[in-house]
């Protein structure tokens, strides 16, 4: 059913199916280039809640609700939920998902969490531990700024290398079987390791994460005996424009030219020129909502047949930053393919 | 190879083996009733580091180093590492484990993290995704007080229901095969869900977590068609004396009397009378070091043949606490059994 290709790379012959998914975003994301693709756009970024953290919890709750509804499944059908976010002690997850009563695996991979949760969900189902799992993650611009940087009221200047945390949540219902119309299937995986080049600039996370993305993608190519030519797109999570340059350069040194097929969710979600987002979008929600709203759509429409999806995470906290530590990175990669038959209209 | 018994309960016919493990603790834990069982006791709680957070990172690093050494394995032999801690954004893990270069799944389950990481490692190996995994978690009294409560210098009074965060880390090397002498094997699992009774007292986490422990243990009994009589011990993570009473009462209402076989790691690790730890020990490290140093030893010596190990977690952050939120709980359960043959001396 699956074949180990290397230390942490596995090919899934049958695959695990992304039965359905949903994306919920804030106003800025709704105004961006992908705006019309999202399932739900909030009319303001409080989403009817009293705090930023509660608003982020409501994003996860709504994304799971929509994804289950589209899949025609109930919370009770889910064997497990794999979920996490950027806030200390993952409180967006804890308070957003309690009411569903689904057995929970809390995960933390910074902005790579969408990839990590999909990997674990895939392993659980392909390994015979369940029929269905839901994977969800979120970020919120205001709760993240409060958690990692400055109070919004302080109005700090942001350098051009900084990214803008996406307000959004993406949820994915995985199934062992395709059902009537799965959106796509996961057919391969390479698990990432921590890579630390010693960079300390939390306002340039793209450069901090690019070495981790390069490490995972290179290992993936080697383990799968594949290369850039084998994928319609190689899609990182939130490297942004600065990190993209670093990634392409690092992989070129290793003999791989991904420049023609590389896309970054952080560069797709905003129009940097008109939306003042500088290097691009970031946050757990960035790759999650872009996967749900845009990448899976391309795979359904067969514009793309096979992509390598590699969310990237910057492993820092305000404490580690204030203690002068570096910002290590991590990236996890999944091969996601079109289902064999076109999805019925 | 494994048999699903319920929504989130699985029996592993072959089992996954705990090949080796190690425990590293601070001075207070070294002076406690289990002191002589730990592999390493620090001479002070800084462990030669400059900050509490670095000290906690060094605990994880040392525990993994010792466990691998005892197993006669190298970091390169490990397919995956499953790791997490209590600090915001799991920085003890990120900075403690980077140097090993093992593909990482970061997990967050508050003080249930030892259970969560063992569940995921078991699923990965039993599911055919690898030969070896290492699971590690930690907590540190001083970094936890800073993260969740008050500066140590403030010298706040602690109510009798409060617990004392264990300074320690436990690491477990899992293998698909038993090797020459595995310490024990994992033969069953029940994954926990978030349970929130609305309690808000972060100085009484035992009461906050007990309903989650009761929920998981009850589901486990039902799914496995077992009961208290089938286990030599049912061992929770860090309910302490207050939480123990609540757990026993809640399960009695469901028709299960565990009072004769219940043990709590938080009540074993300190002598509450002489060590001024009030309700007991807590923190991710509490159940991890107790499993490594004490529970596995009992299983090796065949004093116990089969235990239900159920670490408990309180899902709060200082932000959620300050915003007046409740403290939901979660607990994950694993069946851990003696290996078939006595371990060679």
Nearest Cα of chain B lies from the Cα of A33 at a distance, in angstroms, of: 31
Give the angle A270-A274-A279 at the CA atoms, nearest 5°.
Answer: 50
pLDDT at A327: 96
Q: Using the CB atoms, write b or e for A104-130: b if 16+ within 10 Å.
A: bbbbbbbbbbbbbbbbbbbbbbbbbbb
A321 at interface of B, judged by CB pairs closer than 8 A: no
Nearest CB to A128: which of B87, B127, B325? Answer: B127
CA B184: distance to chain centroid? 16
Q: How confident is the model over A58-107, as pLDDT tens digits?
A: 999 999 999 999 999 999 999 999 999 999 999 999 999 999 999 999 99
pLDDT at A14: 87
Inter-chain contact B129–A95, Cβ cutoff 8 Å?
A: no
Inter-chain contact B91–A315, Cβ cutoff 8 Å?
A: yes
Q: Which of A108, A136, A284 is the mutation pick for testing B, counting most B CBs within 10 A? A: A108
Residue A344 has pLDDT above 70, yes or no: no
Residue A254 has pLDDT above 60, yes or no: yes
- Return d(Cα B178, Cα A173) in angstroms, integer: 35
A300 at interface of B, judged by CB pairs closer than 8 A: no
Q: How confident is the model over B82-94, as pLDDT tens digits?
A: 999 999 999 999 9
Residue A342 confidence class, pLDDT cut points 50, 70, 90: low
Q: Which of B108, B209, B211, B312 is the mutation pick for testing A, counting most A CBs within 10 A? A: B108
What is the average pLDDT value for chain B, to the nearest integer?
Answer: 96
Residue A1 confidence class, pLDDT cut points 50, 70, 90: confident
pLDDT at A345: 43
B191 at interface of A, judged by CB pairs closer than 8 A: yes
Residue B345 has pLDDT above 60, yes or no: no
CB A169 within 8 A of CB A141: no
Instruction: Collect all residues with Cβ–Cβ distance below 8 Å to B155 and sequence separation of at least 6.
Output: none
CB A24 within 8 A of CB A62: yes
Looking at residue A197, what DSSP letter applies?
-
- Return d(Cα A164, Cα B228) in angstroms, integer: 52
Residue B119 has pLDDT above 80, yes or no: yes
Residue B164 confidence class, pLDDT cut points 50, 70, 90: very high
Looking at residue B291, what DSSP letter applies?
I
CA B306: distance to chain centroid? 17
CA B220: distance to chain centroid? 18
**What domains sit in chain A, N to C, each tagged with a CATH number?**
2-175 (3.40.47.40), 186-337 (3.40.47.40)
B50 by Cβ neighbours in 10 Å (0-12 / 13-18 / 19+) ranks as exposed
Tokens of residue A29, six digits: 């994301």
B341 by Cβ neighbours in 10 Å (0-12 / 13-18 / 19+) ranks as exposed
Q: Crossing angle of helices B141-148/B52-71, nearest 10°?
A: 140
Residues 55-84 of B with CB under 8 A from A: 76, 79-80, 84
Q: How confident is the model over B190-202, as pLDDT tens digits?
A: 999 999 999 999 8
pLDDT at A341: 60
Inter-chain contact A127–B130, Cβ cutoff 8 Å?
A: no
Inter-chain contact B317–A4, Cβ cutoff 8 Å?
A: no
B203 by Cβ neighbours in 10 Å (0-12 / 13-18 / 19+) ranks as middle
- Return d(Cα B238, Cα B269) in angstroms, integer: 10
Residue B17 has pLDDT above 90, yes or no: yes
Q: How confident is the model over B127-157, as pLDDT tens digits?
A: 999 999 999 999 999 999 999 998 899 988 9
Mean pLDDT of A199-226: 96
Count CB pairs under 8 A between chains A and B: 184
Q: How confident is the model over B24-70, as pLDDT tens digits?
A: 999 999 999 999 999 999 999 999 999 999 999 999 999 999 999 99
Q: How confident is the model over A306-322, as pLDDT tens digits?
A: 999 999 999 999 999 99
What is the average pLDDT value for chain A, to the nearest integer?
Answer: 96
Complex ipTM above 0.95? yes
Nearest Cα of chain A lies from the Cα of B301 at a distance, in angstroms, of: 31
Q: How confident is the model over B216-263, as pLDDT tens digits?
A: 999 999 999 999 999 999 999 999 999 999 999 999 999 999 999 999
Greatest CA separation for chain B: 54
Inter-chain contact A91–B317, Cβ cutoff 8 Å?
A: yes
CA A117: distance to chain centroid? 9
Instruction: Collect all residues with Cβ–Cβ distance below 8 Å to A32 and sequence separation of at least 6.
Output: A269, A270, A271, A275
Q: Which of A81, A94, A110, A137 is the mutation pick for testing B, counting most B CBs within 10 A? A: A94
Beta bridge partners of B169: B24, B138
């Amino acid at each position: 059913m699956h074949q180990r290709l290397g230390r942490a790379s596995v090919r899934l012959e049958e695959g695990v199916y992304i039965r359905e998914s949903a994306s919920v975003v804030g106003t800025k994301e709704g105004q961006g280039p992908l705006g019309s693709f999202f399932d739900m756009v909030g009319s303001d970024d409080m989403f009817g809640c009293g705090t930023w953290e509660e608003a982020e919890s409501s994003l996860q709750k709504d994304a799971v609700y929509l994804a289950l509804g589209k899949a025609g499944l109930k919370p009770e059908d889910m064997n497990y939920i794999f979920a996490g976010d950027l806030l200390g002690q993952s409180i967006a997850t804890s308070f957003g998902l309690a009411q569903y009563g689904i057995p929970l695996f809390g995960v933390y991979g910074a902005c790579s969490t969408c990839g990590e949760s999909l990997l674990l969900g895939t392993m659980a189902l392909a390994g015979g531990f369940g029929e269905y799992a839901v994977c969800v993650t979120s970020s919120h611009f205001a709760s993240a700024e409060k958690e990692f940087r400055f109070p919004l009221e302080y109005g700090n200047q942001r350098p051009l290398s900084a990214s803008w945390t996406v307000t959004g949540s993406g949820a994915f219902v995985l199934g062992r079987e395709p059902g009537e119309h799965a959106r796509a299937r996961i057919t391969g995986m390479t698990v990432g390791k921590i890579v630390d080049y010693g960079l300390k600039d939390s306002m340039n996370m793209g450069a901090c994460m690019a070495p981790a993305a390069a490490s995972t993608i290179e290992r993936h190519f080697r383990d799968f005996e594949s290369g850039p030519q084998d994928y319609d797109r190689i899609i990182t999570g939130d490297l942004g424009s600065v990190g993209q340059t670093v990634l392409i350069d690092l992989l070129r040194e290793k003999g791989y030219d991904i420049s023609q097929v590389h896309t970054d969710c952080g560069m797709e979600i905003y129009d940097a020129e008109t939306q003042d987002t500088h290097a691009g979008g970031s946050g757990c929600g960035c790759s999650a909502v872009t996967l749900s709203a845009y990448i899976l759509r391309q795979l359904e429409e067969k514009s793309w047949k096979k992509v390598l999806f590699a969310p990237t995470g910057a492993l820092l906290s305000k404490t580690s930053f204030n203690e002068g530590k570096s910002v290590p990175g991590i990236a996890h990669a999944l091969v996601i393919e079109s289902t064999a038959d076109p999805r019925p209209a």
